[in-house]
Every structure is written in structure tokens, then in C-alpha cells.
Amino acid sequence: MRPVHRATLRGLGAYIPKKLLTNFDLEKMVDTTDEWIRTRTGIETRYIAEKGQSASDLGVEACRQALENAKLKASEVELIIVATITPDMLFPSTACYIQNKLGAKCGAFDMAAACSGFPYALAVGQGFVESGMYQTVLVVGTEVLSSFIDWKDRSTCVLFGDGAGAAVVTRSQDDQSGILSSYLGSDGSQAGLLQIPGGGSMNPPSEETIKGGLHFLKMQGSEVFKVAVRTMDAAVREVIKQSGMGVQDIDCLIPHQANLRILQAVAHRLEIPMEKIFINVMRYGNMSSASTIVALYDAVKMGKIKKGDDVVLVAFGGGLTWAANHIRW
Ligand code: ACO
């Protein structure tokens, strides 16, 4: 059913920290090679936050740029939704830190859906705008994963990077463009595949949790790989079906950037040519909640998306979670 107010993305922003970490740098830190990382993942470089630079520091820069692009002031923002799994603190929310740094006066909250964070948060922002409750919502994905990575564990430390992206979601001015549909999924029975097990109420921080490295990100990589391909394929099909269209109608697919091989497998299953899939995992690695929004930002900046295009954002991640949004540009 057509909502009363259609939601659209009015301005985008991204912020990537300055510090570059190449595969060759990682060769000096753990038993790995540039060749292994490139052939297994497609990743060549990633960027790492400075010591003391938190998720809200990265996020607020992305928000400032998104507001500038939308030609809106912070005082016009009515709600801030931040997707992150690497918050400044367990509480208060990173969204509150961003609200204060921006100088906005509005509601603010965090949500955690791991790498599906941005498409999840965008669906929530869409709901607020469609319902008429708010007209201007800032949706942010920001991560400082480097703070939760075991830099001695070669199976995870080569995969991730830090960064942030933001979108200003407002009422669409025309009847054609905007977010046409969103689709969310989860399967908590597979929570163990991807998690930071320590530091929460299940395993409160203690000498044992620190010694056991439970405060670091843990992943069963090959299992996640299989689920990722299956769920992204299904989420794309579902979201485009909800809009009454087919996979062949997609002009640009913006997937979560975890691994180039996952994206090739998804393209194969969906029978979408690789030219229609935007990929920047080689530059940034996996930035979890920030990946899809930074990819969308880069795709727009590089002129890969034009007015009227059907764009699909799709992601999967810890939870497990998966999500997709269909946006008519
Ligand atoms: N350098 C060299 N060798 C390595 C490295 C490394 N950095 N890491 C692992 N290896 C070794 C392993 O020890 C193993 O050696 P063995 O055969 O002697 O035991 C061998 O390489 C193969 O390991 P696999 O884990 O089977 O390698 P695989 O081909 O599956 O690639 C990878 C691993 C890249 C992690 C892949 O499984 C993957 O991308 N999985 C999906 C991860 C993902 O998408 N996560 C996203 C979600 S993140 C989120 O939600 C926060």
C-alpha cells in the first residue's frame, strides 16, 4: 500500500579516518600475506581510527556532510538513529553523543543489527517519516571495529576497517522517488557464528573474560560465508517483490562489503551482471554498519546512480540479521 508520506534520501555523507593500513602492513603484524587476503577477500587496504577517536567522532563528521548535502541545519533534525556495534560506551547511546556534537535538539537512539545495521536503521527511519511522526531523520552507520579486533588473530584482523556514513531521510517531494520497500530478517539460533561474547550481562567483564579475549570479535568465517550468500540473495528477491518488480529491474545493487567472493556468489545466484553491483571492499574492508551507506555515498559520488534508477541496498551480519531497502532514486 502506498504510504501517506513517502520517505526519501535527501543528503548523504561519509567519513573515513586518515590512517591507512595495507595488507603489507598486516604482513608485519600476523602470519599472513597480501596474496592470501586479496584472493580470499578482495581487500587491499582499510582505514583505522586514531587512538581516542570514537564511533560518535566518525559519525558526527558523516552527519555534518549529509546535512550540508541536504541543505539542512542540525536544528532541523527531528530524530537521530545510529546503527553501530562498536558504540562509544554501552550507554549512553552513541546517538546522544552525536546529537550533542552536532548541536541538534531531538530524539536520539542506537540500534544494533551488526553489518545489517544501516539497512535496518533506514527501514526504521522510513517508518517514522511514512507515519508522519517526523519529517527529518538522520540515519547513521558508524564503526570503530579496530577497538574490538584481536590484532593477533589473523582470521579476523585482516577483514575489518573503521568508517561512518549518514543519510538525511525526509518526505519525498514527488510521487515517484524514495524508499519503496524494506525487508528485515533475523535468526538468533545462529548468534554464535558472529559475536563479541564478553562485556555484556551474559559475560560481564572480568579477569577471565579479558584473559580469554572475549571482548574481541569472534567469527566462524566459512559458516558466515554460506549464510551470507543465501540471505542476501533471498533479501534482494523479497524486497524487490514487495515493490511489485523483479531482480532484472535493479539498476544498481549496493551490498554489504564483507568479501568480494561473497558478492560474486550473490551476483551469480541473482543472475545480476557484476557491472550492476557496486564494490568498494578493496579500499575499506568490512566496516559493518557503515559499509552499505559508505558504498551508497561512493556510488552516487562516482556517478553510478542517476535519477529514476532502482537501487537496492542489502546486508547480512551478526544476529544473524539480514535486511534490504529498495530506493527509487
Ligand atoms: N592469512 C593467511 N592464512 C589465513 C588467514 C590469513 N589472514 N586467515 C585464515 N587463514 C588460514 C586458516 O588458518 C586456514 O588454514 P588451515 O587450512 O591450515 O586450517 C586457511 O587459511 C583457510 O581458512 P578458512 O577460514 O577456511 O578460509 P576461507 O576461504 O573460508 O576464508 C574468510 C576466510 C575470508 C573469513 C571467509 O570465510 C569469509 O569471508 N567469511 C565471511 C566473513 C564475513 O562476511 N563476515 C561478515 C560479517 S561481520 C559482522 O557482521 C560484524
Residue listed under C-alpha cell 577477500: 41
Q: What is the pLDDT of residue 261?
A: 97
Residue whose CA lies nearest to ligand 1 atom number 9:
155
CA distance 70 to 62: 12
**Tens digits of residue pLDDT in 79-136:** 999 999 999 999 999 999 999 999 999 999 999 999 999 999 999 999 999 999 999 9
Q: What is the pLDDT of residue 321?
A: 98
Does residue 258's CB lie within 6 angstroms of at least one atom of ligand 1? yes
Residue pLDDT tens, the chain, 329 long:
667 789 999 999 999 999 999 999 999 999 999 999 999 999 999 999 999 999 999 999 999 999 999 999 999 999 999 999 999 999 999 999 999 999 999 999 999 999 999 999 999 999 999 999 999 999 999 999 999 999 999 999 999 999 999 999 999 988 789 999 999 999 999 999 999 999 999 999 999 999 999 999 999 999 999 999 999 999 999 999 999 999 999 999 999 999 999 999 999 999 999 999 999 999 999 999 999 999 999 999 999 999 999 999 999 999 999 999 999 99
Helix (H) or strand (E) holding 299: helix 291-301
Atom of ligand 1 nearest to the CA of 228: 44
In one-letter notation, the amino acid at residue 271 is E
The sign of the CA dihedral 43, 233, 163, 300 is positive
Residue among 224, 230, 263 to mutate when testing ligand 1 (max atoms within 8 A of CB): 224
Distance from the CA of 138 to the center of ligand 1, in angstroms? 35
DSSP for 176-214, written as a single string: S-EEEEEEEEE-GGGGGGEE--SSSSSS---HHHHHTTT
pTM of the model: 0.96
Grid coordinates standing for 151? 590484532
Does residue 199's CB lie within 6 angstroms of at least one atom of ligand 1? no
Grid coordinates standing for 179? 524508499
Does residue 228's CB lie within 6 angstroms of at least one atom of ligand 1? yes
Q: What is the pLDDT of residue 222?
A: 92
Q: Catalytic positions, please?
A: 115, 256, 286
Residue among 85, 155, 186, 217 to mutate when testing ligand 1 (max atoms within 8 A of CB): 155
Supply the angle between the helices 260-270 and 34-41 in degrees, to the nearest 10.
Answer: 20
Distance from the CA of 76 to the center of ligand 1, in angstroms? 45
Does residue 203's CB lie within 6 angstroms of at least one atom of ligand 1? no
Residue among 152, 218, 225, 256 to mutate when testing ligand 1 (max atoms within 8 A of CB): 225
Residue listed under C-alpha cell 581516542: 52
Atom of ligand 1 nearest to the CA of 115: 50
Does residue 38's CB lie within 6 angstroms of at least one atom of ligand 1? no
Q: Bin 114: left if φ > 0, else alpha if -120 < ψ < 50, else beta.
A: left
